[in-house]
Structure 1
Amino acid sequence: MPTLILARHAKAEAPAPGLNDSDRALELIGRKASTRLGQVIAEAGLSPDLALVSPSVRTQQTWKLMSAALPDCDTRFEEELYETHVAGLLEVLNGAGDAETVVVVGHEPTSSAAAAHLAGPGSDKTALQRVAHGLPTGTAAVLEFDCPWSEITSRCGRLTAVLSGRDVEE
């Protein structure tokens, strides 16, 4: 059963004049939350075999720190994930091939919008409520599907959980 983990990058430095948005790095608390999010995903019994990561500095750093707890996962940096929408994210997912569990490390509002778009009957109500308010930094929505990646469409998955790495101290 294909499983999707939609992870939002952890807390990054604030936008600043002269700093490209894609170059914003993680803050210290974001680095800790990234590490913790990887641990929480592993503790939930999830073991991604493919990571699709936005090319921004903050998403790459988030994944690098998460991946310490998630070994044996192939990584692909997907340019399309940086400034995309739900349809663009689904297009990238359609190319996931035979991966069983895929983690997408991306951005808001696309991550929560995609989770809401894909969540169908049988979804966890508490998780749906959390996604409706947007995914905070350092959190991930988990969805399960009964169809291959190439057939994923609106409301065809079950949102089972929202996991957080934010329970760390500064």
Structure 2
Amino acid sequence: MPTLILARHAKAEAPAAGLSDADRALELIGRKASTRLGQVIAEAGLTPTLALVSPANRTQQTWKLMSTSLAGCETVLDDELYETNVPGLLDVLKGAGDADTVVVVGHEPTSSAAAAHLAGQGSDKSALQRVAHGLPTATAAVLEFDCPWTEITSRCGRLTAVLSGRDVEE
């Protein structure tokens, strides 16, 4: 059963003159939360085999720190994940092949919008309420599917959990 983990990058530095959005780095609290999110995912028994990561600096840093708890996961930087929408994210997922569990490290509002779009019958009501308000930084939505990646459509998954790495101190 394919499992999708939609992770939003951790807290990044504020936009600044002369710094492109794609180059924004994680703040110290974001680095701690990224590491914690990887631990929380592992503690939940999830073992991604494929990580699809936006090319933005903050998403790459988030994944690098998350991955310390998620060994053996192939990493693919995908330009399509930066400034994409739900259909764009679904197109990227169609290339996941036979990966059993995929983690996508991306951005808002696409991460929460995709979780809400894919969540169908049997989804956890508390998790649905959480994604309805958007995914905070260093948070991930977990969905399960009964079909291959190439057949994923609206409301065909079950949103089972929202996991957070935000329980760290500054």
Determine if the TM-score, normalized by the shorter chain, exceeds 0.5. Answer: yes
SS in 2 for 1:136: coil
Which consecutive residues of structure 2, in runs of 5 or more, have no partner in the other structure?
Answer: none
Deviation at 1:126, TM superposition (A): 0.2
Q: Which residue of 1 aligns with 2:143?
A: 143
Q: Which residue of 2 aligns with 1:44?
A: 44
SS in 2 for 1:14: coil
Confirm or deny that 1:71 pairs with 2:80. Answer: no
Q: Which residue of 2 aligns with 1:23?
A: 23
Deviation at 1:139, TM superposition (A): 0.2
In the superposition, the TM-score normalised over structure 2's length comes to 1.00
Q: Which residue of 1 aligns with 2:99?
A: 99
Q: Once the two structures are aligned, what percentage of the paired residues are identical?
A: 85
**Deviant stretches of 4+, over 2 Å:** none
Give aligned pairs, total. 170
**Residue type at the aligned position of 1:65:** L
Q: Which residue of 1 aligns with 2:5?
A: 5
Which consecutive residues of structure 1, in runs of 5 or more, have no partner in the other structure?
Answer: none
Q: Hey, what's the Cα distance between the residues in 1 that align with 2:118 and 2:12?
A: 27
Deviation at 1:136, TM superposition (A): 0.1
Q: Hey, what's the Cα distance between the residues in 2 that align with 1:148 and 1:47?
A: 18
Deviation at 1:106, TM superposition (A): 0.0
**Residue type at the aligned position of 1:93:** L
SS in 2 for 1:13: coil
Deviation at 1:4, TM superposition (A): 0.1
Q: Hey, what's the Cα distance between the residues in 1 that align with 2:2 and 2:112?
A: 19
In the superposition, the TM-score normalised over structure 1's length comes to 1.00
